[in-house]
């Protein structure tokens, strides 16, 4: 495990967003879903893709609160511009399970 300083951790901007659109992403090398999420007035609407197809269907993701790193540079994935990194952890089979707040929190809320 690599140790980082508090100053490094403070550089990572992790926010809560609400998924407003979700659709299959068949062009991706690995099965994925395109997500559009609202991160509030400061960050705005951002898009990403995530390999969530084992546990989630696009229609079940709309309205869901997710946690994401919002200050990475954009990345192209199969021609799609991914602007944030939605966070998750692997289950016992290595499939992604989304991180999300267990209580209602404001969209755009910043992790600290």
Per residue in 14-57, pLDDT (tens digit) is 999 999 999 999 999 999 999 999 999 999 999 999 999 999 99
pLDDT reading at 112 higher than 90? no
pLDDT band at 93 (very low <50, low <70, confident <90, very high): very high
The answer to whether residue 72 is domain-embedded is: yes
Domains in the chain: how many in total? 1
- What is the Rg, in whole angstroms, of the alpha carbon atoms belonging to the chain? 14
Average pLDDT over residues 56-78: 96
Pairing assessment for the beta strands 33-38 and 14-24 based on DSSP bridges: antiparallel
The answer to whether residue 53 is domain-embedded is: yes
Average pLDDT over residues 65-93: 96
Retrieve residue 112's tokens.
């600290």
The answer to whether residue 55 is domain-embedded is: yes
| Domain span at 33 | 6-98
The mean predicted confidence, pLDDT, of the chain is 96
Q: What is the CATH number of the domain that holds 70?
A: 2.40.50.140
Using CB atoms within 10 A of its CB, is residue 65 exposed (0-12), middle (13-18) or buried (19+)? buried
The answer to whether residue 30 is domain-embedded is: yes
Supply the pTM of this predicted model. 0.93
Query: Which has the closest alpha carbon to 53: 76, 75, 26, 78?
Result: 26
User: How far is Cα 40 from Cα 66, in angstroms, rounded to an integer?
Assistant: 13
């Amino acid at each position: 495990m690599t140790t980082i300083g508090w100053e490094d951790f403070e550089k990572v901007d992790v926010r809560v967003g609400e998924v407003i659109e979700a659709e299959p992403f068949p062009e991706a090398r690995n099965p994925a879903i395109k997500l559009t999420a609202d991160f509030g007035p400061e960050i705005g609407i951002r898009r990403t893709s995530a390999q969530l197809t084992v546990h989630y269907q696009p229609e079940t993701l709309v309205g869901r609160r997710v946690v994401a790193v919002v200050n990475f540079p954009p990345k192209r994935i199969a021609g799609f511009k991914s602007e944030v990194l939605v966070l998750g952890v692997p289950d016992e089979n290595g499939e992604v399970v989304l991180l999300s707040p267990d209580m209602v929190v404001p969209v755009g809320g910043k992790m600290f």
